[in-house]
Structure 1
Amino acid sequence: MAATLLLLSSLTACSSSADDGPTVPAGPVPEGLEEFYSQRLEWGDCAPYAKDATARQAFAGEGLECARLTVPLSYSEPQGTTITVGLLRKRASDPDNRIGSLVLNPGGPGGSGMSAAAQLSTAVENTELGERFDLVGFDPRGIGASEPTVKCLTDAEMDADRADMTAMDGVDDVADAEREAKEFAAKCAERTPHGEKMLANLGTRDVVRDMDVLRSALGDEKLTYLGYSYGTRIGYTYAETFPRNVRALLLDGALDPEQDMLDSLVAQAEGFGGTFGKFVEWCVTRPDCALGSNADTAVQAYQDLVRPLLDEPVKLPDGRVLSYEDATTGTVAALYSKQLWPSLNRGLATLAEGEGTLMMALADTYYERGPDGKYSSTQTGLVAIRCVDDPPVTDRESIEAAQAEYLEKAEFLDPGLPPSSARDACAFWPVEHTSEPHLPDVEGIPPTLVVSTTNDPATPYQAGVNLAKAMGGRLLTFEGAQHTAFLSVGNECVDRAGIAYLVHGTLPPEGTRCR
């Protein structure tokens, strides 16, 4: 089938310059929100926005500028307390032919869109995407440079939590796990500014309303959006909430909109299990494979390396210990990208020698723990947003059954203990959830492009198939073994198709597969 062109005049028309920002709103404005939609953004140096060493390095890139967007804490009380959302921008390199802004979110939930935009700013250089769009990343409310941020555990408490294996010692493990979950939920409500009110207005429901305010403040009548992983949920929720305000949505690494927490957990286990199998296939052909040369015994070899950590974590030079949780987390982190497989192999090889520094480094990457011992807000945000986005799971039998299925599909993560029926922090969350799984009602939006990777460990391929169907959009398949693909793996087929869609509205032919 020939490629389809979206017949929207706004796709090729130039948007107003973002130099000064609007003093009048762009596009429709919900009643009572005029002052937010017409605000002028004050762009400047990004250094004051960096909260950690990683962000400081990322935000120092050439041509990057930052600002704050003011939004209501509660959209039901727009005249009440306000909060701010951190923004980072790389301007279009061809302003005379500028279309508008490409707003992006990297997922998580809780990931920093500002850091993601800083990293992608080099990837879009010398492309039509970078020439014709301002690249704009935002830290969702409560995350990163946005103020205030969600606060639950101190850095020292995070370190201690990772090292604590009492919930997996086989003795009152359910009671231990639930006690820790209750304490975590209580600390989030106690330590987060504005307390329960902030937690209640933290979810995707409110993030998409912030994003519509941002669209107007950037001077765009319609939104052009790039969402990865959980960012796909932001994308399809925005389309359902503001269908008339959508110009184009590229959603990569999709969440299945109908899956509840347990179904999503089991589907993710299948993804991680499959990608671990791909890692094993790669590893056993190497003379230095830490898991040996036989793929049939590789899972057992892996378990023989990590299970002893349940009883005796490995002491590290910095005074910390590598726990079972950290070793498996480091493994999962490496499965997100094939580029990390050599690091995982080296980490497992050194673990076999009683040294855990490399595996801890992989786990620290996942947890976003900097060399200074400080954590980003991502992991805290992930829990807080997930707990307010979906109904809590409280049925112990269902939890235990899902855990058993999880360990069956991701056998390498089986600790050799019975599956747990412990409820997580969301079961004790102090506020009600604000969303629930459902097929989005997006009638009338322009066709969406969904990118799905065949062996994505975190968001299984079928979820992308399901989302493309639900959105009435087009599916682009990438044959690979990693999490997300557009502008991240250097695949010309994926990047070319995505850029053509975002710039011109041209969809790839039905059934397109990139290798």
Structure 2
Amino acid sequence: MRTTKRYLPVAAAFLLLSSLTACSDSGDDGPTVPAGPVPEGLEKFYAQQLEWGECAPFATNAMAKQAFSGDGLECARLTVPLSYAEPQGTTITVGLLRRQASDPGSRIGSLVLNPGGPGGSGMTAAAQLSSAVGGTELGERFDFVGFDPRGIGASEPAVDCLTDAEMDADRADLTAYDGIDDVADAEKEAEDFAAKCVERTRHGKKMLANLGTRDVVRDMDVLRSALGDEKLTYLGYSYGTRIGYTYAETFPRNVRALLLDGAVDPEQDMVEALVAQAEGFGGTFGEFVKWCAGRADCALGRDPSAAVATYQDLVRPLLDEPVALPDGRVLSYEDATTGTVAALYSRQVWPTLNQGLAALGKGDGAVMMALADMYYERGPDGKYASTHEGLVAIRCVDDPPVTDRERIEAAQAEYVEKAEFLDPGLPPSAARDACAFWPVEHTSEPHLPEVEGVPPTLVVSTTNDPATPYQAGVNLAKAMDGRLLTFEGAQHTAFLSAGSDCVDKAGVAYLVDGTLPPEGTRCA
């Protein structure tokens, strides 16, 4: 989609991403009767027996294949209705991965995880985090369960819009910056993308119409019952916080505990979220610059006030002449800026970003391309995960499309004011994105969740989070009448990923026994 080449969309967030399965049984058949309340007409789904087995057949890309090879992991499929309005009709499946509680005698239940996106693989995230929970109270007392939301990853069918070759070509395309018929060309490309999603995704429009958060939380309640839990214990990161608060609003009596980290502001529409995110990326780039300026090898120089101009001097030439790579691809302006954004998600990747920018200054784009490939989840075999197609598809069905061209143009101008390093030096585009041409109606609207009767929620928010700004967490905690835990840091999300004992201990205490940290708690 052409407009995403000039100004990054609301970004995906990761921590680092028929019949029941025929896999061999693990010996734990699960419940044969539903756990907790069951909506009328859905008894067979809520009472289904999960068959756990090897995870290797569930891997759909290189990242998943590596993650699923860990010890103690098992996978299954959950069967759900394609449309909950027609529960006797077509069914689809949701991929599941779990690491069982290591101390069955003190087991509380299942801890269900979603890593964000929208479009992120909960199976891959759970597999990657399984070693972090092993040997801890979380690992001892909870089955750690990740799921791929409907249409994503190992769930079947998956959203399918572009081929791998088309994704490569889209990333390398320079016509978005030629200034010639930009709006018409961009909107034609966006319209074509939407049409390909309908054509290439099994069940077409019906699948796309039932893909969003509204239906994901229905699936999650079926999962709760199939796992044998009367109430849900949930850990959601980034967009996963939206899944969490939407579940609480839909099934308020079925919640045991919700830990929501890196909050999405429930009242913001897509444009407002984009502008707020630009402020987050701008602030975190500033933190990266301060860190870099303290190093003798800083690719942006030792003067922080000149860093944005130096960065633009490195990446803007790619608008006219991408850097050729040994594998035959080229590093485009889009890929260089995407790689930069990907690195801002975690301080651990900042040294790699500095290395990549230094190499780019010498005409070598390999490191920056590797960072961009990490963001797009392109494996060494050239295959992409479904994450970014899923991001667009879910975003378009979740919220009303933004069609006011004046508002789009104004928002893009504000975007580069807040994230100056991402300014390509070109006029903002008024082109509408794929959501304006989406073939099905949206299923929800931005609003404050109504969660009366839900147990207190713990919201973790990071002061310099690039993707989900701190204030969004403040707003969500207030809306949920929950407790805010502040992490003083510069990265995306914190629980189990920031190396903060303060955050981790508070989160574990909450998930295990419901203890909230004191009001106003701040962690470093």
Match of 1:211 in 2: 220
CA apart distance, 1:23 = 1.1
Q: Whole-Å Cα distance in 2 between the matches of residues 466 and 434 of structure 1?
A: 23
Return the match for 1:468 from 477, 483, 506: 477
Q: Deviations over 1:370-420 (max 9, x none)?
A: 000000000000000000000000000000000000010000000000011
Match of 2:437 in 1: 428
Match of 1:507 in 2: 516
Amino acid at match of 2:443: T
Give SS of 1:333's match. Answer: helix
8 Å CA contact 1:37, 1:213 repeated in 2: yes
Return the match for 2:262 from 245, 248, 253: 253
Q: Whole-Å Cα distance in 1 between the matches of residues 354 and 182 of structure 2?
A: 31
Amino acid at match of 2:76: A
CA apart distance, 1:218 = 0.2
Return the match for 2:47 from 38, 41, 59: 38
Alignment CA distance shift 1:407-1:18 (3 Å): farther
Return the match for 1:262 from 245, 267, 271: 271
- Answering whether residue 196 of structure 2 is matched by residue 187 of structure 1, we say yes
Give SS of 1:227's match. Answer: strand
Match of 1:391 in 2: 400
Amino acid at match of 1:130: G
Match of 1:380 in 2: 389
Give SS of 1:209's match. Answer: helix
CA apart distance, 1:177 = 1.1
Misfit runs of 4+, over 4 Å:
none
- Aligned pairs for 1:45-60 within 5 A: 45-60=54-69
- Answering whether residue 140 of structure 2 is matched by residue 131 of structure 1, we say yes
Match of 2:410 in 1: 401
Q: Whole-Å Cα distance in 2 between the matches of residues 183 and 322 of structure 1?
A: 24
Q: Whole-Å Cα distance in 2 between the matches of residues 134 and 65 of structure 1?
A: 11
- Aligned pairs for 1:54-453 within 5 A: 54-453=63-462
Q: Whole-Å Cα distance in 1 between the matches of residues 443 and 347 of structure 2?
A: 36
Give SS of 1:170's match. Answer: coil
Q: Deviations over 1:209-246 (max 9, x none)?
A: 00000000000000000000000000000000000000
CA apart distance, 1:170 = 1.4
Q: Whole-Å Cα distance in 1 between the matches of residues 39 and 178 of structure 2?
A: 53
CA apart distance, 1:429 = 0.4
Aligned residues, how many?
A: 499
Give SS of 2:509's match. Answer: helix
Amino acid at match of 1:498: G
Q: Whole-Å Cα distance in 2 between the matches of residues 118 and 454 of structure 1?
A: 28
- Answering whether residue 53 of structure 2 is matched by residue 23 of structure 1, we say no
Q: Whole-Å Cα distance in 2 between the matches of residues 229 and 109 of structure 1?
A: 9
Give SS of 2:110's match. Answer: strand
CA apart distance, 1:175 = 1.5
8 Å CA contact 1:167, 1:174 repeated in 2: no
Amino acid at match of 1:278: E
Q: Whole-Å Cα distance in 1 between the matches of residues 181 and 358 of structure 2?
A: 33
8 Å CA contact 1:200, 1:432 repeated in 2: yes
For structure 2, the 5+ residue unaligned runs are 1-25
Q: Deviations over 1:342-376 (max 9, x none)?
A: 00001000000011000000000000000000000
Moved more, 18-27 or 248-257: 18-27
Match of 1:11 in 2: none
Q: TM-score, normalised by structure 2?
A: 0.95
Identity %: 85
Q: Deviations over 1:449-469 (max 9, x none)?
A: 000000000000000000000
8 Å CA contact 1:18, 1:219 repeated in 2: no
Q: Whole-Å Cα distance in 2 between the matches of residues 123 and 437 of structure 1?
A: 34
Amino acid at match of 2:151: G
CA apart distance, 1:20 = 2.0
Q: Whole-Å Cα distance in 2 between the matches of residues 445 and 168 of structure 1?
A: 49
- Aligned pairs for 1:484-503 within 5 A: 484-503=493-512
Q: Deviations over 1:317-343 (max 9, x none)?
A: 000000000000000000000000000
8 Å CA contact 1:22, 1:40 repeated in 2: yes
Match of 2:5 in 1: none
Match of 1:12 in 2: none
Give SS of 1:404's match. Answer: helix
Q: Whole-Å Cα distance in 2 between the matches of residues 268 and 174 of structure 1?
A: 24
Q: Whole-Å Cα distance in 2 between the matches of residues 176 and 164 of structure 1?
A: 12
CA apart distance, 1:472 = 0.3
Q: TM-score, normalised by structure 1?
A: 0.96
Amino acid at match of 1:120: L
CA apart distance, 1:169 = 1.3
8 Å CA contact 1:326, 1:359 repeated in 2: yes
Q: Whole-Å Cα distance in 1 between the matches of residues 489 and 416 of structure 2?
A: 24
Amino acid at match of 2:55: C
CA apart distance, 1:19 = 2.5
Give SS of 1:507's match. Answer: coil
